[in-house]
Amino acid sequence: MQNGKVNEAGVVFEVMIQKGVDPNTYTYSTLINGLCLAGRLDDAAKIFHLIEDKGLKHDVVTYDIMINGYVKHDKIDEAYHLFTQMLTRGSPAPALSTYQVVLDGLCKNGLIDQAMDLYPSLSSARLEPSIEVFTILIDGFCRAGKIEAAMNLFESMLETGLVPDVVTYSSLINGLCKGRDVSKSREIILENAGKGLRPNSICTIFSSEHFCRTSKWIKHCNFYGKCVQGNFRLMKQLFRDYYYCVG
């Protein structure tokens, strides 16, 4: 929602109140979401707190919107405060979507240890970790350079019966490349391709940054060419990387 549209929504909101029409939680949530998208977090927070002042109750959607707004604007402390408020009050209890937003914010802010401390509470809340939760944590470990921990979590995910998706594979492969474990990344790509999946950014992951640096681009070019066969965009990127290397 553009800032001008948010202003218009705010005017309508004020008119509703002036005319004695009480907004419901959905109306408040919609306005909070617009303010968060416009980066007006202080205004969003005021509306968020106004909900209880008006005798209404926050629901999971309202909390998720406000927490996500904080996370998207790197205000992880504020996001975590709201999350712990949900845990303390118990109503509404955090949903799986809430955990995903908080875990993603922690991981992207380099707080992987705090994220892993939070992870077991999913079981306490009788929530089953989703593929999105595992992917977030795997990516967090890779960002922190903890490749072994990422691999261990990947194996744990497989044991639950969950099937990795393209994003999971790409996060893990990217981490392995940054850790210069090219052999393991090849193994995962081969397994990945055998299941009919393709990493969504294979040419970025196996770019000249990794292979020119290790002088292995030509050796592996044929292998990765087969992996992207049939995808014109990725093949074009592969050849562009090749000419970057040899040019």
Q: Report how far Cα 246 is from the mean position of its chain's Cα atoms.
A: 36
Task: Quote the CA–CA distance of 213 and 207 in Å, as a whole number.
Answer: 10
CB 114 within 8 A of CB 83: no
Residues 6 or more apart from 3 whose CB is under 8 A from it? 38, 40
- Please count the other Cβ atoms lying within 10 Å of the Cβ belonging to residue 117: 11
Calpha distance 247→243 (Å, rounded): 5
Cis before 120 (ω within 30): no
- CA pseudo-torsion sign 57, 62, 67, 69: negative
Residue 171 token pair: 């996060």
* pLDDT in single tens digits along all 247 residues of the chain: 444 466 665 555 565 565 565 778 888 898 899 999 999 999 999 999 988 888 888 999 999 999 999 999 999 999 999 999 999 987 899 999 999 999 999 999 999 999 999 999 998 889 999 999 999 999 999 889 898 899 899 989 989 999 888 788 878 877 777 766 555 655 665 565 555 555 554 444 444 345 545 545 445 555 555 555 555 555 555 555 444 444 4
Q: For residue 46, give the nearest of 13, 89, 87 by alpha carbon.
A: 13
Residue 20 zone, left/alpha/beta (φ > 0; ψ -120 to 50; rest) = left
